[in-house]
Amino acid sequence: MTEPKKALSLALLLTLAATLSAEDASVKPEAEAEKADVEVKVEFLHNHPSLVKMWNHSNQVRAQYGLPAQKMNPELTKAAQDHAWYMAKTGQFSHSVNGGFVARTRRHNYAGSPSGEIILWNAKSIPSCFQGWLNSPGHRAILLSGAREVGYGYAVARNGSTYWVGVFGN
């Protein structure tokens, strides 16, 4: 995402967060107001249509293999999106950059046990992304694992390359 688009996205997110607040933040203690703003931002990301489509597709794939649906977790979603943005910005395609997936889940306050991460570069659609993961034995094992929670992330680099991330936990 270009810097102007990133700035516009952030401005829109902050505007949305301000308009969605049920109470006037000026009457809340500062720490409580900040916590409410963060919760609105997390909820916005957690309900982003593309990420929800990824989660739904994931559960459809799991159902084809007789596996239970996974719950979408907001903290895992933040960790996955953080890594997708990082890879798109830097061009570094790796599980170990940006602190590693366990550190990212902790940084985004995931209280559970992180169990795996799957990444894919340059898939053109959600179905092709999941097919790529299913074609990789290591990624397939994580996607079809017994993890009960998941978060997904997606970003597009300035050159148009796509970065897809799934982070799993219990």
pLDDT digits (tens, 9 = 90+) for 118-163: 999 999 999 999 999 999 999 999 999 999 999 999 999 999 999 9
Asked if residues 1 and 88 have their Cβ atoms less than 8 Å apart, the reply is yes
User: For residue 170, which of 152, 141, 135, 145 has the smallest C-alpha distance?
Assistant: 145
The predicted pLDDT at position 44 comes to: 59
pLDDT at 22 > cutoff 60: no
The predicted pLDDT at position 97 comes to: 87
DSSP state of 70: P
Q: What is the pLDDT of residues 48-79, one digit of tens each?
A: 889 999 999 999 999 999 999 999 999 999 99
User: For residue 129, which of 108, 147, 103, 155 has the smallest C-alpha distance?
Assistant: 155
Q: How much of the chain, in percent, has pLDDT values that exceed 90?
A: 68
SS3 165: strand
Ranges of each domain in the chain? 32-169
Q: What is the pTM of this model?
A: 0.75
Structure tokens at 27: 């009457």
Protein fold of 32-169: Pathogenesis-related Protein p14a (3.40.33)
